Amino acid sequence: MRKFLFTLVALLGFTTSALADYTMIVPQKPGGGTSQWAQIVATEMEKYLDGEKVILKHIRGARDIPGFNKFHNELRFDDNVIMVSNGGNGISFLNEAVDYNYKDYDSIGLMNLNIITAVFGDHDPYGDTPTSFSGGGGKIPEGIAMTLLKCGNLPTVEAYISCFKEKVNWIKGMKGNERRLAFKRGELHGTRENPASFKKHVQPVIDKGQARLWFHHGILQPDGSHADDPNYPGIQMEKLFVELHGEKPDSILYDAYKLAKSFRDGLQKCLWINKGNPNRAKLIAALEKVASNADSIAIIEKKVGKYEWLMGDAGNAQVDTLMTFVTSDALKTLVQFNTEAFGIKAVYKEDLVK
């Protein structure tokens, strides 16, 4: 009997997926930020799918790439498979040898988010002391933004790289929670968070008078511009740049910056299916009902903050807008800055420009 019960429990894990009508592929381990978001969305969507079930399948791997690659190469041809992607996938798409390509999929919906930064204590981010900031692949837009703010418009990428090395202390090897702790202790001069995490981790430090807002990237608009964030008005990077330097940002690094921040923040939380999937209308309708239900949206906003959804074709249009940022010069600059300033591996993908 005991043996039977144990076997039953073990089999439960295998059979759950067979009972599902839709499978969301999450490219992370269970418990990760995107996984939690996907779990909430899946649970809420189920309410509007006439009894059909949505379960999560985690396909993990380095920088969340293997799961998305597997979707692209195999799983997308199954009409019941939905891909969940995040901003990190957007950055990897630009300068890593990945298989996936957003142009091959239809969007069900995506969330267009923003990242906010702060500085600790009385540190002057434009003064002589280099700003210590936790680095890593996910912080590329912040690293470039602070370089632009500190250095102004410069003629060459090499000049920016030199300025970055002089004015930014890019600290590697820090995970998210270590970064938060180091910032609260004042070991790091700067930090960055998504809106919900900012409210939880940084705002209390600001409220105590120990830190202050620095800049944010703004929210991507359909015409390709970036609007100010109503949650944190007046500190958008471009606006600060004009205040500091008396002119608009206009340089090759600025083009690379727009490219990187748009692909990361504009594709922060997304749901994809293969082009021509017959279930698309039903899934979009369910997600639209989730987005219009105050209770459902309150649960999601608690996780990521108050930002709008782009549903269905609006999500596809977002990808079209993003691709307008992909130019040969911007991509090459991004790769060079990644390699020489941040010291991280990056490849130039000529195919993206075609």
Partner 1 sequence: MLEAIAILFAGILYGLIIGIIPSAGASTGLIALFGFISYFAYDPYLGVIFLMAVVAASTTGDSFTAILLGIPGANSAAATMVDGFPLAQRGRAGYAISAAVTTSTVNGLIWGCLVFLLLPWYTNLIYIFGVPELWAFTLLALATVGFLSNQYWLRSILAIAFGIFIGMVGVNPDNNEARLGAQYWFYLEDGIQIMAVAAGLFAIPELTRGLFLKHSTADSKIREGELWAGIKASWDNRWLALRGGFIGAFIGLLPGLGGQMADWMAYGQAVAANPKEKFGNGNIKGVIGPEGANNAQKATSMITTVIFGIPGAKFAAILMSLFMYLNIELGTPDIADDTQLFTAMTFGFLGATVIVGLICMVLIKPISRLAAVPYKYYFPVLLALIIFTSMQYTGGWEDLAMLAIFSCIGFAMRHFKFSRPACLIGYILAEKVEGLTLQITGLYTIDTLVTRPIFMTLIAITIGVFLYSILRKGRIDYA
Interface residue list for partner 1 (CB under 8 A) = 2-3, 6-7, 9-10, 13, 29-33, 35-36, 39, 43, 58-63, 66, 132, 136-137, 169-175, 177-178, 180-182, 184-185, 187-188, 201, 343-345
Which is nearer to partner 1, 57 or 280 (by Cβ)?
57
**Residue number with CB closer to partner 1 (187 or 288):** 187
Which of 232, 342 has the CB closer to partner 1? Answer: 342
CB of 46 vs partner 1, minimal distance in Å:
13
Nearer to partner 1, 11 or 159 (CB): 11
Q: How is 151-171 classified by DSSP, letter by letter?
A: H-S-S-HHHHHHHHHHHEEEE
What one-character-per-residue DSSP string does 257-319 give?
Answer: HHHHHHHHHTTSEEEEEETT-TTHHHHHHHHHHHHH-HHHHHHHHHHH-S--EEETHHHHHHH
Question: Which residue lies nearer to partner 1 by CB, 116 or 219?
Answer: 116
Nearest approach in angstroms of CB 14 to partner 1 is 8
Q: Which residue has the tokens 């309708």?
A: 285
Min. distance of Cβ 27 from partner 1 in angstroms?
A: 11
Least distance between partner 1 and beta carbon 33 (Å):
8
The SS3 assignment for 30 reads: coil
Q: Please, which residues have CB within 8 angstroms of residue 118's CB and are 6 or more apart in sequence?
A: 183, 190, 191, 192, 198, 202, 205, 206, 211, 212, 213, 214
Structure tokens at 95: 């300068």
Alpha-carbon radius of gyration of the chain: 21
Shortest approach of partner 1 to residue 16 CB, angstroms? 9
Complex with partner 1: residue 187 or 301, whichever CB lies closer: 187
Q: What span, in angstroms and rounded, lies between the C-alpha atoms of 16 and 107?
A: 26
**DSSP code per residue over 157-218:** HHHHHHHHHHHEEEE-S--HHHHHHHHHTTSSSEEEE-HHHIIIIIHHHHHTTSEEEEEE--
**Contact status, residue 61 vs residue 100, Cβ threshold 8 Å:** no
When the beta carbons of 173 and 209 are compared against partner 1, the nearer one is 173
Q: Name the minimum Å distance from CB 347 to partner 1.
A: 11
Minimum separation from the CB atom of position 73 to partner 1 (A): 13
| 182 CB-side CA count, 13 A | 19
CB of 338 to partner 1, least distance (A): 9
Give the residue with the Cβ less far from partner 1, 205 or 286.
205
Q: Read off φ and ψ for residue 266, nearest 5 degrees.
A: -75, -20
